[in-house]
């Protein structure tokens, strides 16, 4: 590589000052003409926040259910998503974009001339993605929509329509989700109520079949009665054995005590086997464990259903309220308006950058050309002609 002193570089640039001035002027004039000819673009914006109570069922679930779901909430359990994501998905969806293209005749706006309507729509879809921007700011919790076009009124109208239409579609989605949630909880409530009714019928039938009024009190009474009878039987057995050994079986008092002994044994057998001919509310001791287990099982299941209903009813009521309520989905902070300043072209910036680049390129060309000897210049001219097929 050749080493050039700064003074040599400056001398070469001075020699090629005409070339530098002419090329730089041409580039600057071209940049000015381009910035004047290029269409002006105008941007309209709108920002809004989503009301916190707008998205489905907004309640704390009782007991372990709430701890299991954590911060996800019931909406995520049933297949929900965040409100911000819903809005962005709606705005960025192909169906929504196609609706905008047809409503505002953007095919004509983009000057797309295609006989095939599907191809024209696809080309417009590519362009509209650059025209419309939607974003969500995590810090401010604001959704922003911006539309940039060559018509300031068109930008404002599309921006406003996107917000209104996306809000309408979001409400429809939320309404459908709330309806699904409500129907789900309503069906569950009906199932729980039906199970409780069936259990109450089963408990009633069980009580009627085994003559149960109060299982615990009846069991205490039966056991107390049984203990008393057993005590009496033991006493009479001892007396009967003593009198029989002293007086023999034919003694009148021995016969009397033997009759008492038989009557008490019948009473014991009655208590053990539930002889209903005496008292239908006395349960046989041999059946008591089985009856107690069945009855306790019914009562436990009944208690579970009742507690489930107590916990589940607030959820059902909240779901019903969410289904019928009609609240404002969003709070608008900035309405779209007609833009006062264009967003592009930035004429001054285009002219300054283009002029600077033109100066750099022309300076490089001037230095390259005027730093060569006459022989080298002829060689370069020969290569240039050869490139274009000239001799």
Residue 251 vs residue 17, higher pLDDT: 17
Q: What span, in angstroms and rounded, lies between the C-alpha atoms of 22 and 362?
A: 9
Instruction: Specify the pTM.
Output: 0.58
**Which residues lie closer than 8 Å to 55 by C-beta, 6 or more apart?**
75, 80, 82, 83, 174
- 73 pLDDT band, cuts 50/70/90, is very low
Is 128 in contact with 101 (CB distance < 8 Å)? yes
Residue 191 vs residue 72, higher pLDDT: 191
Cα–Cα distances (Å) from 336 to 34, 96, 130, 281, 331, in that order, read 30, 19, 18, 82, 14
Residue 237, judged by CB atoms within 10 A of its CB (0-12, 13-18, 19+), counts as middle
Q: What span, in angstroms and rounded, lies between the C-alpha atoms of 385 and 114?
A: 43
Q: DSSP string spanning 235-254?
A: HHHHHHHHHHHHH-TTSHHH
What does the CA dihedral 288, 293, 298, 303 come to, rounded to 10 degrees? Answer: 110
Task: Look at residue 208 in the predicted model and tell me its pLDDT.
Answer: 65
pLDDT tens digits for range 155-212: 999 999 999 999 999 988 888 888 888 888 888 888 888 888 887 787 777 666 656 5
Q: In what order do the strands lie in the sheet with 42-50?
A: 132-137, 142-149, 42-50, 330-334
Q: What span, in angstroms and rounded, lies between the C-alpha atoms of 79 and 93?
A: 19
Is 127 in contact with 113 (CB distance < 8 Å)? no
Task: Look at residue 345 in the predicted model and tell me its pLDDT.
Answer: 73
pLDDT tens digits for range 140-162: 889 999 999 988 899 999 999 99
Which range of 45-49, 223-227, 281-285 scores highest in mean pLDDT? It is 45-49
Residue 227 vs residue 147, higher pLDDT: 147
Task: Look at residue 65 in the predicted model and tell me its pLDDT.
Answer: 46
Number of helices (H), then strands (E), belonging to the chain: the values are 14, 4
Task: Look at residue 100 in the predicted model and tell me its pLDDT.
Answer: 93
Q: Across residues 117-139, what is the average pLDDT?
A: 91
Is 134 in contact with 92 (CB distance < 8 Å)? yes
Q: Angle CA(370)–CA(385)–CA(25) in degrees, nearest 5?
A: 50
């Amino acid at each position: 590589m050749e080493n050039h002193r700064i003074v040599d570089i400056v001398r070469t640039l001075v020699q090629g000052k005409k070339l530098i001035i002419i090329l730089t002027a041409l580039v600057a004039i071209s940049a000015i003409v381009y910035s004047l000819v290029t269409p002006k673009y105008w941007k309209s914006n709108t920002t809004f926040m989503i009301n916190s109570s707008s998205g489905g069922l907004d309640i704390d679930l009782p007991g372990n259910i709430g701890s299991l779901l954590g911060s996800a909430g019931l909406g995520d359990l049933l297949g929900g998503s965040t409100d911000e994501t819903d809005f962005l998905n709606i705005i960025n969806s192909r169906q929504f974009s196609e609706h905008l293209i047809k409503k505002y005749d953007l095919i004509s706006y983009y000057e797309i001339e295609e006989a095939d309507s599907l191809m024209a729509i696809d080309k417009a879809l590519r362009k509209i993605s650059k025209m419309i921007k939607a974003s969500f700011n995590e810090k401010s919790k604001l959704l922003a929509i911006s539309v940039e076009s060559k018509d300031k009124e068109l930008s404002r109208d599309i921006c406003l329509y996107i917000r209104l239409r996306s809000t309408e579609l979001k409400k429809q989605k939320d309404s459908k989700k709330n309806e699904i949630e409500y129907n789900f909880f309503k069906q569950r409530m009906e199932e729980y109520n039906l199970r409780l009714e069936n259990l109450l019928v089963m408990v009633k039938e069980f009580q009627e079949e085994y003559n149960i009024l109060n299982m615990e009190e009846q069991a205490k009474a039966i056991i107390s009665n049984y203990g008393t009878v057993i005590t009496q039987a033991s006493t009479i057995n001892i007396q009967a054995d003593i009198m029989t050994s002293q007086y023999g079986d034919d003694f009148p008092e021995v016969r009397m005590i033997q009759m008492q002994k038989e009557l008490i044994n019948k009473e014991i057998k009655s208590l053990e086997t539930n002889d209903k001919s005496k008292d239908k509310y006395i349960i046989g001791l041999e059946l008591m464990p089985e009856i107690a287990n069945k009855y306790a099982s019914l009562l436990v299941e009944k208690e579970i259903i009742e507690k489930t209903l107590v916990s589940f009813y607030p959820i059902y009521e909240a779901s019903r309220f969410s289904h019928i309520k009609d609240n404002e989905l969003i709070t608008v902070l900035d309405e779209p308006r007609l833009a006062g300043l264009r967003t592009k072209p930035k004429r001054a910036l285009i002219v300054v950058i283009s002029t600077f680049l033109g100066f750099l390129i022309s300076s490089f060309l001037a230095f390259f050309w005027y730093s060569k000897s006459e022989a080298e210049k002829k060689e370069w001219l020969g290569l240039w002609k050869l490139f274009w097929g000239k001799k």
